[in-house]
Structures are given as structure tokens and as C-alpha cells.
């Protein structure tokens, strides 16, 4: 990919704090089980995609970091709270290891496929600068962000981030490529999202 390594970064908050908005619908034990399962699914999909050798999870949670190591990812203890801060920490780690591009993926994508990860990389092409963005189902949030170079613009994850990331790309004189995929667009934040989670998470991908 443009001659320089790609790094995949998965920020993940502490399990006890994960998916708080699901609490009206599920017990805490089930909420934590789901958060673990979705993280494992995302890491398995990334590994099976074969797109990158630089793989890192950033989290303050020792259990999350242990799971990351078990799946072949580097594990960084979060230094500053916040999703954007964790993504930036991962990007700095990747840059120090020679990464020319970074791909940030959330840990709550229960239908992510290895082919989605490969498609993001293919869409980035070989140009010196590239931005590929995958929105969530409502096209308000960002469910994947690929940047080349990794320092092209600062992260702005959170509500309304899809439009902000598109605007930041254009401000950097790069037209963003938008990747729309039902499997990548589906994340789990609210109780209603659970109704679509009608199949078990699959971790046994073939590469």
C-alpha cells in the first residue's frame, strides 16, 4: 500500500464502561459479554483480512489488552481518556513504526467482514494522500476511517463525525472516498440495535 505499512488501530474503553446505553435493555453481565464478543469479532476480522502487520488495541482495561495480545495485536494502555485520544495514541505508535497509513475501527462492529477491511484498503489506492470513510447506518457516525498519511487531519469521532471527517478531508484538499457496507455500517449502541443482532458472532474467518 503505497510502499509503506498500514496500521490498524482499535480503541476500546474499559469493559465496565462499554455500551452504557444498553443498560435499560440488558443486564450488566450480558452487556459485558456482548462487548467482549464484539471486540473479539472485530480483531478476528482484521486478522483474517491480512491487510496489515501493524495491529494495535488501545484501552485502559487490562482484560481488553490481554484479549488483544491473545489475538496477535499490540496492546497499549490508554494514556488519556477519550476515543479520539486513544486513536491518536495508536496513530503515534504506528507512525513511530513506519506506518504510512492508518485504519481506525471501533470495537463494536458485530457484522464486520474481512472483505470490508480489504475493501477499505483497496479504495485508498496508491495516491500519496487518501481518505476512506465508512459511515454508520444513519450516516452520522464514522465506523471506519483510513488516512494516508496518518497525520492528514486530527480525529473527530463522536456524534456527527461522518460529516466532520468528510469536511476535514476536503479542508486538507483530499476528496474522501465513502465506503457503504451493511456489515460495516451496523454497530451496537442502543437497545434497538440489539434487535438486528439475530445471528451469533463468527470469529472463525478464513483468510
User: For residue 7, what pLDDT is reported?
Assistant: 98
- Say how far apart CA 186 and CA 205 lie, in whole Å: 18
User: For residue 197, what pLDDT is reported?
Assistant: 57
User: For residue 16, what pLDDT is reported?
Assistant: 78
User: For residue 207, what pLDDT is reported?
Assistant: 41
Asked if omega into 149 is within 30° of 0 (cis), the reply is yes
Is there a contact between 205 and 161 (Cβ–Cβ < 8 Å)?
Answer: no
| DSSP-assigned states of every residue in the chain | -TTS-EEEEEE---GGGTTGGGTTTS-HHHHHHHHHHHHHHHHHHHHHHT--SEEEEEES-HHHHHHHHHTT-EEEE-SSSSHHHHHHHHHHHHHHTT-SEEEE--S--TT--HHHHHHHHHHHTT-SSEEEEEE-TTSSSEEEEEEESTTSS----STTHHHHHHHHHHHTT-PPEE---HHHH----SHHHHTT--S--------
Per-residue pLDDT of the chain (207 residues; tens, 9 = 90+): 556 899 999 999 998 776 556 556 666 677 788 889 889 999 999 999 999 989 999 999 999 999 999 999 999 999 999 999 999 999 999 999 999 999 999 999 999 999 999 999 999 999 999 999 999 999 999 999 999 999 999 999 999 999 999 999 999 999 999 999 999 998 765 545 555 555 555 555 544
Find the Cα–Cα–Cα–Cα dihedral 34, 88, 6, 152, rounded to 10°.
130
User: For residue 206, what pLDDT is reported?
Assistant: 46
Complete domains list, the chain, with CATH:
6-190 (3.90.550.10)
- Strands 74-77 and 177-178 come out as unpaired
- Say how far apart CA 110 and CA 86 lie, in whole Å: 21
List Cβ<8 Å contacts ≥24 apart for 196-201.
197/110, 201/37, 201/38, 201/40, 201/41, 201/110
Amino acid at each position: 500500500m503505497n510502499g509503506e505499512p498500514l496500521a490498524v488501530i482499535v480503541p476500546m474503553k474499559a469493559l465496565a464502561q462499554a455500551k452504557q446505553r444498553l443498560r435499560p435493555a440488558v443486564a450488566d453481565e450480558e452487556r459485558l459479554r456482548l462487548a467482549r464478543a464484539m471486540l473479539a469479532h472485530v480483531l478476528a476480522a482484521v486478522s483474517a483480512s491480512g491487510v496489515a502487520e501493524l495491529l494495535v488495541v488501545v484501552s485502559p482495561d487490562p482484560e481488553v489488552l490481554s484479549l488483544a495480545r491473545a489475538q496477535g495485536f499490540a496492546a497499549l494502555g490508554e494514556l488519556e481518556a477519550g476515543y479520539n485520544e486513544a486513536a491518536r495514541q495508536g496513530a503515534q505508535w504506528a507512525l513511530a513504526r513506519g506506518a504510512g497509513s492508518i485504519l481506525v475501527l471501533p470495537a463494536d462492529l458485530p457484522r464486520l467482514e474481512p472483505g470490508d477491511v480489504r475493501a477499505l484498503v483497496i479504495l485508498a489506492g496508491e495516491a500519496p494522500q487518501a481518505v476512506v470513510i465508512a459511515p454508520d447506518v444513519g450516516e452520522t457516525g464514522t465506523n471506519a476511517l483510513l488516512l494516508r498519511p496518518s497525520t492528514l487531519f486530527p480525529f473527530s469521532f463522536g456524534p456527527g463525525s461522518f460529516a466532520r471527517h468528510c469536511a476535514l478531508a476536503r479542508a486538507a484538499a483530499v476528496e474522501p472516498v465513502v465506503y457503504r457496507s451493511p456489515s460495516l455500517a451496523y454497530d451496537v449502541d442502543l437497545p434497538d440495535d440489539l434487535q438486528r443482532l439475530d445471528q451469533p458472532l463468527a470469529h472463525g474467518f478464513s483468510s
